[in-house]
Amino acid sequence: MAKQNARPADSRDMYAVHTMFRREFRALPALIRGVAAHDRARTQIVADHVALLVELLHVHHRSEDDHCWPKLASRGPEDVAAIVDLMQSQHKVVDAALQDTEVQASRWRDSATAEDRDMLAGAIDRLLPPLCEHLDAEEEKMLPLIDRYLTADEWAEVGSKGLGNISAGKVPVLFGMLLQDASTEQRALFKEAVGAPAFAVMSKVGPIAVKRYRNTVFSP
């Protein structure tokens, strides 16, 4: 159980994180296929966007693997261990698909050909089913266990450790993406996790940064 006299975790902010990943990755295949063959400028912009999303998902998974799953496995009964095993195995499947995406994105970045463009879009088509299956399973099976067995401070650490592995220049765009569909309750949890001063800045800067970013990435 969560430590006695410690406030339990509230993992509702994870729904906003998952909403961001579903929305952003689902938009990629059409975005990629919309780039004209040999348009090197657009190829570089869109390939950079793919790289950003892949990096964010890798960081998110590593933070869970390192700072969340071990605590749950050590505190919960055997049925918790089985769910942790499921999460870890799904991470491996998703991460393998992400590595394939990285390879295809690198090839397209270098060539800007229609063939490599379509190979990258196909890699993301293959990534989406296991990614969405994992996000759904985590929400159904894991978030209730996080709220039961982790404290609020431990849960905040999972997010802060992940955020610490993202370069400062990318953080405003990340916050803009996170806050886009976040509820009032989820915003309050983000504020608690990063601290009121940092959230006050990012809640203003993030939406501006992501609007400019999207104007560049999604311009025809």
Q: Which domains does the chain have, with CATH numbers?
A: 13-165 (1.20.120.520)
pLDDT of residue 190 exceeding 90, the answer is yes
Q: How far is residue 219 from each of residues 13, 103, 141, measured CA to CA in Å?
A: 30, 25, 39
The least confident of 2-16, 117-131, 158-172, 205-219 is 2-16
**pTM score of the predicted model:** 0.95
Return all residues near 86 (Cβ < 8 A) that are at least 6 apart: 137, 141
Structure-token pair, residue 201: 């800045």
Per-chain mean pLDDT for the chain? 95
* pLDDT reported for residue 78: 81
Residues 3-9: contacts with CB under 8 Å, at least 24 apart: 3/151, 6/151, 6/152, 6/153, 7/151, 7/152, 7/153, 8/147, 8/148, 8/150, 8/151, 8/152, 9/146, 9/147, 9/150, 9/151, 9/152, 9/154, 9/155
Q: What angle do CA 185, 187, 193 make, to 5 degrees?
A: 105
Q: What is the mean pLDDT of residues 12-29?
A: 98
- Nearest by Cα to 61 from 158, 142, 167: 158
- What tokens appear for 74 in the block? 């050590």
Q: Are 59 and 162 spatial neighbours (Cβ–Cβ below 8 Å)?
A: yes
Q: What's the pLDDT tens digit per position in 55-73?
A: 999 999 999 999 999 999 9
Residue-wise pLDDT tens digits, 102-130: 999 999 999 999 999 999 999 999 999 99
Residue 50, number of CB atoms within 10 A of its CB: 26
- Indicate if the pLDDT at residue 191 is higher than 80: yes
pLDDT at 41 over 60: yes
Is a pLDDT exceeding 70 seen at residue 2?
A: no
**Residue 42 clears pLDDT 80, i.e. is over it:** yes
Query: Residues 4-20: what's their mean pLDDT?
Result: 91
Instruction: Show the tokens assigned to 177.
Output: 């993406």
Q: What percent of the chain has pLDDT over 70?
A: 98
